[in-house]
Chains A and B, each alone.
Chain A
Amino acid sequence: MAKSMIPKLPLYPFVLSAAQRVIEVARTPDGPVKKLEDYPVNKLANALHPAKQFLVVRKVIEHSPDMKTYVFSPDYSKGTERLAYFSAGSYLSLNYADENIQFTRPYSLSSSPKKSLSNHYCITIKRVEDGIASNYILDHWVEGTKVVASAPLGDFTYEPLRDAKHVIGIAGGSGITPFRSMAFAIADGDEDFDLTILYGSRAKKDAVFTDELLKLSETCPRVKLVNVLSNSKAKGCEQGFITADLIKKYAPEGEDYSIFLCGPQAMYEFVDKEIAKLGLRPKFVRHELFGEYFHPEKNADYTGDISGEFTLTVKMAGKTFTIPAKADTSILRSLEAAGINAPNQCRSGRCGWCHAQLLSGEVYTPASVDGRRIGDIEYGYIHACCSFPLSDLTIDIPPVAK
């Protein structure tokens, strides 16, 4: 018998512990295993992040023929009872289908987080040239239209441990929507920061929500709105573009401030150059989603032929499709044009929902919207929403989760 190095430890607990297992199982009464959704942590997870939210348009508010707000409530008939709470600045990925069209698009929530607790969500949509989805919505959605939404998504939210106490919000066009939500969240006491919105428009009539936000700032001095008009003059408004000097004029003196930007791509291109002059640390400058990428050929590192037409072979959970794909069109858009429902949320290269494996061929991904992980690049994965074919391709992309 081998000499023990730990003779003080008894041998019998080994058997005892095994016996205890038999006893513990035997004395547990038989009954159904608790359902996942009945655990409190899972309940909260489902409340904050439901897989889907079925919505119905309850009201349409027309700001102008080109800009409307859609008020949603839950579609109780489909089983949605409560709308998920969110952090101001979040967006919904909306999926809509009828006999004419099917699309999925991200839209910022323009209503306050607090109102979601009484089952009220708003999105505000502006007409854009060539905007397939936005134009269809503006022309066709009415009271009673049914839509399927994701949970609230995104990271264009105020983070108190990260951001400065004072935020300069730079908005253009419908880019005012997340700031409207933030303004209400501050007034409701749900967020704790000062917000100065520099709202760029052509003329005052284009600056939706102005009256409402000005009124809000009377009772809530932490929120301030400055209209910046590029093509006209109006009392109490700044005239011109949003420049470094203008930002400095409204920034708090002698203390840190964060800049949040939300607007069209042209605005980012202009304002980013102005912000660069301010010499702020990157942590103090945050952009909302860039939006869909067009014209990859404008980049110096683009090596393809933008008029190219290719064949895209798509493997999707055991099925294979072959569809046409143009060099100037993102893979996601080519899939959608062929009627293939592919997963997507942000459509800006950031969220990774359209993660796909590139099995053969080459694609171009603009560096500015390349939000892939290191491993994706190493092992040949792409984000379909901002990858453009340079040759015939074979990809493996999952179906939209049920």
Chain B
Amino acid sequence: MEKYDVIVVGAGNGGLCAATTCAKAGYRVLLLEKHNLPGGCATSFVRGRFEFEPSLHELCDESTNPRMRSMKQIYADLGIDTKFLREEMLYRVICKGPNGYDYRIRAGKEGFLDSMEEACPGSRAPLNTMFELNYLFDAAQIYMDDCGGVSGMNPITLITKYGDFIRAAGNSTDKFLDALGMDDKTKSLTNTYWGYLGDPPRDLNAMHFISLLAAYVEGKPSMPYDRSHGMSLAAVKALQNYGGEVWYNSEVTEFLYDEEGAAIGVVANDEKIYAKKIISNVIPNNVLNLSDNKFVKKSMRKLANARKLGMSIITVYLGLDCTMEELGVDDYSVFVVKDPDANVQYDQRKDMGLYIVNCLNKTIPDASPEGTCMLFFTIPSFDGDFPENLKPQDYKKYKNALAEKYIRDYEELLGIDIMSHIEEISVATPVTFARYLSTPNGTIYGYMSQSWDNVINRTVFKDLENKVKNMRFCGGHSLRGDGYPSGFITGEMMANEIIAELKEGK
């Protein structure tokens, strides 16, 4: 007999949520993690006097409809208790060049509309429509959920009642914003967050992007007070309270199946561990490589091979020996773009098309010791962007040159002196993420949510694809694409599917 009802592989945001949800429902849960810490990228690291947030920019923890699951609701329901601080300013965006601009856009719907109207007169009406449409998108998704997935839906109802959802779900962000009648400048500012979803607006699914933007605007972004590491430990605490177990340094080296190809367990620490159900927070590519090929469905292999890998990032973490006031920085989140057109930002990404600079002390004043502050640079790096033949002996010089280029650019842009205050520096690249996450080319969420692999299609095809009996996938590579909330939401969703199967004795 299996010792566990559910084995969850990988303790990222998705795995933590899935494991805790199953344990809360009373099932015997084992969460296996290859590292000695939980969280995946939701962690922290210490250098000298500083504890850095490695990947999180801002949590979008609320949904725009109480019936849509949000991270906040999931955490509350699971009894995960951790402190968040909320940010009132959505972002500052600085566009360089002759058509450049520099605006601060407030969080909260009214604040957002006001600051957008100031920046782009006439933008209030189309943006209002955008929010109205987002409420409709929420209603459409609730309708779909109530129908129990694609198979239970009435296509006539979907088209007659939720036609605009179908329009947004089938078109790109560019086309959607044009259809709202936005001028270029309004589009430019509205698109600021495109990098969070890792796809330029010409390909980015409109429904996906608008729901993300609306959730950030209306919910206001927040940050975990004791870094993402504290947030992950809080989830572990809840899991343990429900009787779940976590084993660290316990990498899964094989997935086990019965003769019919149903998942029955895994190998970790050279030991076969059996369970009724498996939830993988590990990307399908790796699961397929850790499975005997005779149990892998051809369709899953082909899907994995057809998909484009998602983005990775280059990050520069700086601990500075001056306060943010002394430094001359007064924003949490600053987007620096080279061109107002977000598609050009994507095309010029290797030439400073877009980078983001965060100063955690703005949101969490005591995030670092008195008299100091922290800066965190993020530069998107897509599959194939990283130099293929970089030699190990050139890596340090390569990453320092890159870091210097961005630091100097930001210094010049704001007229500040960062360089002479650097007390700690750490530079991470896709190589770092490849090492830490064990994902192909260091992708942080999994797959690019490009045209046909957008989140809508992932949901539509959910019941047809990635079908391994007794197994589910959660995380950014699952249904919801990039971002922390995807992990929480798909973790809970997959756990609930597994729980339903266990209840029915399937």
Residues of A within 8 A of B (CB): 1-2, 4-18, 20-21, 24-26, 28-36, 39-42, 44-49, 84-85, 87, 113-114, 117, 155, 159-162, 190, 281-283, 317-318, 343, 350, 352-353, 355, 371-376, 378-379, 381, 398-402
Contact = CB atoms under 8 A, between A and B. Distances in A.
Contacts, number: 246
Interface stretch (B84-92, B215-223, B225-233, B338-346): B225-233
B423 A9 contact: no
Of the candidates B167, B288, B395, the one having the most CB atoms from chain A within 10 angstroms of its own CB is B167
Contacts of B47: 155
Contacts of A15: 170
B159 interface: yes
Given A13-B170, A84-B392, A402-B251, A41 B132 contact: no
Of the candidates B170, B227, B304, B432, the one having the most CB atoms from chain A within 10 angstroms of its own CB is B170
Given A41-B312, A375-B44, 19 more contacts: A4-B163, A8-B178, A9-B167, A11-B170, A18-B460, A20-B451, A21-B457, A30-B301, A31-B305, A41-B441, A44-B390, A282-B321, A282-B423, A317-B250, A355-B37, A374-B229, A376-B229, A381-B233, A398-B36
Interface in B423-475: 423-425, 430-432, 434-435, 438-442, 451-454, 456-457, 460-461
A26 B286 CA distance: 21
Contacts of B434: 39, 41-42, 44-45
Given A9-B176, A17-B452, A33-B288, A161 B404 contact: yes
A173 B384 CA distance: 47
Interface stretch (B192-200, B241-249, B326-334, B496-504): B241-249
Contacts of B417: none
Contact of B289 (A5, A36, A113): A36
B456 to A, nearest CB: 8
Contacts of B456: 14, 17
Interface string B155-186: 00001111110111111000110111000000
Contact of B442 (A1, A42, A162): A42
Nearest to B424: A162
B395 A17 contact: no
Main secondary structure, interface of B, reads helix
Main secondary structure, interface of A, reads loop
A190 B393 contact: yes
Interface of B: 34, 36-37, 44-49, 51, 129, 132-133, 159-164, 166-171, 175-176, 178-180, 226-227, 229-234, 236-237, 245, 247-251, 253, 269-270, 285-286, 288-289, 293, 298-299, 301-306, 312, 321, 386, 388-390, 392-393, 395-396, 400, 403-404, 407, 419, 421-425, 430-432, 434-435, 438-442, 451-454, 456-457, 460-461
Contacts of B37: 352, 355
Contact of A44 (B171, B248, B395, B424): B395
Contact of A281 (B269, B289, B321, B386): B321
Given A161-B419, A378-B230, A5 B393 contact: no
B451 A400 contact: no
A372 B233 CA distance: 13
B408 to A, nearest CB: 10
A210 B341 CA distance: 61
Contact of B227 (A7, A14, A113, A375): A375
Given A49-B435, A355-B36, A398-B36, A5 B133 contact: yes
6 contacts: A7-B179, A10-B171, A32-B301, A36-B285, A39-B441, A161-B400
A40 B386 contact: yes
Given A44-B390, A45-B435, A355-B37, A4 B161 contact: no
A47 B171 CA distance: 43
Contacts of A12: 170
Contact of B171 (A9, A24, A34, A48): A9
